[in-house]
Amino acid sequence: MSAPLSARGLRLVRESAVSRFELRIENLDVEAGRVLAILGANGAGKSTLLRALAGLEDPAEGRVLRGGEAAVTMVFQRPIALAGSVDHNVRIALRSRGLDPGAIDRRAEQALSHFGIADLAARAASGLSGGELRRLALARAFAIEPGVLLLDEPFDDLDAAAQESLSKDLRRTVAQTGVAVAVVTHDLRRAVLVCDRIAVLLGGGLRQVGPREEVLNRPVDLGVASLVGMTNLLPAEIGADGVARIAPGYAIPTADSSIRGSAWVGLRPEHLKVDIGRGEGVSIGTGEVVEHASDGILTTLGISWAGHHLRTHLVAGRGMARELVVGDAVSLAVRPEDVHTLPSDSPRE
Amino acid sequence: MNELDGLSLLAITLRTLALCGSSLVIALALGVPMGIWLGSRNFPGRRALLGLVNSGMGAPPVVVGLLVAQLFYRSGPLGDLELWYSTQAMVTAQVLIALPLVVALVVAAVASLDADWALQVRSLGIPPLWRHWLLLREIRLGLLAAVIAALGGILSEVGAVMQTGGNLEGETRVLTTAILMYTRMGLFESAYALAAVLLGLMLILAGLLTWVQYGEKR
């Protein structure tokens, strides 16, 4: 079955008096029943790509193909409020489609209550707060029951509870309706929570696209690794035994047999284990806690190890005898299959 | 020449309203699409066009009247139409006076919208006719300001309508030209009666604008 929305040989150009920007996308599919997260640094062209996918921006080359008649709709980073009530904002696109009044009522009421703004229905949309306006924009888009939903930074302006609720709504709607979703977000954690696939924009092109786990754990280069949160990147010498030597007395076992000699070793923070005697992974020795930040649920530790600054995350109540503090020595462990290797000439950008 | 009677006052007022109303409708029919186009597009020469519109706002009506009068004068380019000293010539002058005001205020209203406004409405799959209606709804305050400014400009204008209409009794005499005439004749009572009507009309206009703006903010 063809994807409801595909980009083929796309070249997008933006020119102003002071700058020129070009983005090339050879192949990208937004698949039915899946959420694609589009990641990239600021100015990588994420929003431009989304607009092109929505048919709102003409590419200099290439085509955006629609696999069916289903509507494609986009929720912008800074949504607008149309003149009139919140209710009018949700109903207008439905009315313009000539739906019968019963269907309009049902869809509008459903969308309003779904996003928790049913009690604001009669209010002027121009008076909404940022978060309320975001929820209105989402309700407006969901009410259309689109075949493809493109979301540009949908979690902005939402409080933690609303972010959580939107993530759940997205997953549920995708499962129930089979809608194809593409999300642009700078919030990696949120993207990981909602997406099935990840596309990474880097250096004016689509550097990597694939299933979530693959992109997160097997980034194709250092640039992608940094963007997808693989922050522990260490230069190493990988021996024939598969052990990556970082510094005298410091080594990391790898399960990857493809690279030997000078290389980079990558490890996601959540894969660097603070060993509390459970026997998780292979010990790589001891490090010193040099940084400690906690939001009460998640603790991020900076650890000095082999002259490098490593990061790891701990979830509260994980079983530590006490809260770690700066200066503590900690035993570290990794699972060889979690360790990623990249060639020494892997591009950083 | 006698003082103005009630019937004549009514006739002059109705003629004034009919002429100004026609001019306003034509100016809006031309100016609103032009303003939307100028306000929402970016193309080479846009600035020059905006400059022309702004200059038009400040153009002395008497100069506009002169140009239109010459256009319709017997020996002028449109002399064969025999429209000199006619209501059609007056409407032409009034449209030219009102048009830059309408265009400029609509441009300002459209430019004040979010840069992505049109794209966001398009992304909802709303058909073009509906999108135009939504845009007019969105810029309604700017449109209202354009109506008030244009109507105010042409209602109170005297030079151009005198040059193009000639103040012919029962044909082209309107409130402003009649006030001018009665003042020249020293018939101040009649002039004041006409002035009171003109002022009343202007006050109604101002009141309408205030009422709508206040209603919007509530």
Residues listed for chain A: 349
**Residues A183 and A81 grouped into a single domain:** yes
Residues A196 and A318 in one domain: no
Least confident range of A162-166, A268-272, A283-287: A162-166
Q: Give B209 or B86, the one with higher predicted confidence.
A: B86
Q: What span, in angstroms and rounded, lies between the C-alpha atoms of A200 and A219?
A: 10
**How do the residues of chain B divide into helix, strand and coil, expressed in percent and rounded to 5?**
75, 0, 25
In the prediction, which pLDDT does A21 show?
A: 85
Burial class (CB in 10 A: 0-12, 13-18, 19+), B74: exposed
User: Would you say residue B109 lies in a domain?
Assistant: yes
Taking the C-alpha atoms of residue B61 and residue B157, their distance in angstroms, rounded to an integer, is 7
pLDDT at A306: 92
Residues A255 and A338 in one domain: yes
**pLDDT value for B206:** 84
Flag whether pLDDT at B152 surpasses 60: yes
* Residue B119 in domain: yes
Strand partners, A264: A235, A342
pLDDT computed for residue A319 by the predictor: 65
CATH of the domain at A179: 3.40.50.300
Q: How many domains does chain A have?
A: 2
pLDDT of residue B33: 96
For residues A121 and A209, membership in a common domain is answered with: yes
Has residue B218 got a pLDDT over 60?
A: no
Whether B124 and A80 lie within 8 Å, measured CB to CB: no
Tell me: do A194 and A295 sit in the same domain.
Answer: no
Task: Name which of A28-32, A279-283, B92-96, B126-130 the model is least confident about.
Answer: A279-283
Assigned token pair, A151: 């979301």
Residue in B42, B113, B124, B217 to test binding to A, most A beta-carbons within 10 Å: B124
Structure tokens, A202: 């880097």
Cα R_g (chain B), whole angstroms: 20
Query: Are A101 and A76 found together in one domain?
Result: yes
**Is residue A236 domain-shared with residue A329, that is, in the same domain?**
yes
pLDDT for res A1 = 55
pLDDT of A318:
67
| A225 to A91, A348, B179: CA distances (angstroms) | 43, 9, 82
Residue B183 lies in a domain: yes
Question: What is the number of domains present in chain B?
Answer: 1
- Decide if A29 contacts A6 (C-beta within 8 A): yes
**B218 assigned to some structural domain:** no
Task: Please check whether residue A75 lies inside any domain of the structure.
Answer: yes
Average pLDDT, rounded, for chain A? 90
Provide the CATH number for the domain around residue B199. Answer: 1.10.3720.10
Runs of H (alpha helix) within B112-158: 117-123, 128-138, 140-155
A244 is in which domain, residue-wise? 222-343
Which of B42, B120, B131 is best to mutate for the A interface (most A CBs within 10 A)?
Answer: B120
- Of A198, A215, A232, the residue at which a domain comes to its end is A215
Whether residue A208 is found in the same domain as residue A174? yes
The nearest CA of chain B is from the CA of A229 a distance in Å of 32
Q: Which residues in chain A have Cβ-Cβ distances shorter than 8 Å to B115?
A: none
Instruction: Write out pLDDT tens, residues B10-62.
Output: 999 999 999 999 999 999 999 999 999 999 988 899 999 999 999 988 889 99
Q: What is the pLDDT of residues A298-330, one digit of tens each?
A: 889 999 999 999 999 988 766 666 778 899 999
Question: A181, A215, A249: which is the final residue of a domain?
Answer: A215
φ and ψ of B82, to 5 deg: 55, 50
Q: Are A65 and A52 contacting, i.e. CB atoms less than 8 angstroms apart? A: no
pTM score: 0.83
Cβ-based burial of B70 (10 A; exposed 0-12, middle 13-18, buried ≥19):
middle
Respond yes or no on whether ipTM tops 0.85: no
Q: How confident is the model at residue A168 (pLDDT cuts 50, 70, 90)?
A: confident
Percentage of chain A lying above the pLDDT 90 cut = 63
CA distance B23 to A309: 76
DSSP state of A263: E
Residue B129 domain flag: yes
CATH number at residue A299: 2.40.50.140
Residue span of the structural domain in which B201 resides: 6-213
Which residues does chain B have within 8 Å of residue A92's beta carbon, measured at their own beta carbons?
Answer: 124, 126, 130, 134
Give the pLDDT confidence score for residue A27 in this predicted structure.
Answer: 93
Sign of the alpha-carbon torsion through A294, A300, A303, A308: negative
Give residue-wise pLDDT tens across range B63-97. Answer: 999 999 999 998 889 988 888 899 999 999 999 99
CB contact under 8 A, A78 and B114: yes
Q: Whose CA is closest to A163, among A131, A211, A195?
A: A131
Residue from A15, A47, A96, A145 to probe the interface with B (highest B Cβ count within 10 Å): A96
Task: Report if residue A59 sits inside a domain.
Answer: yes
Q: Which of A215, A234, A266 is the last residue of a domain?
A: A215
Q: Smallest CA–CA separation between A79 and chain B, in Å?
A: 8
A171 and A247 fall within a common domain: no
pLDDT digits (tens, 9 = 90+) for B160-191: 999 999 999 999 999 999 999 999 999 999 99
Q: How far apart are the first and last CA of chain A?
A: 35
- Nearest CB neighbour to B127, from listed A73, A79, A96: A96
A126 and A267 share one domain = no
Task: For residues A181 and A244, state if they share a domain.
Answer: no
Mean pLDDT (chain B) is: 92
Are residues A242 and A198 part of one domain?
Answer: no
Residue B23 within a domain? yes
Asked, for residue B171, whether it belongs to a domain, the answer is yes
Average pLDDT over residues A84-101: 95
Residue carrying structure tokens 């607008």: A80
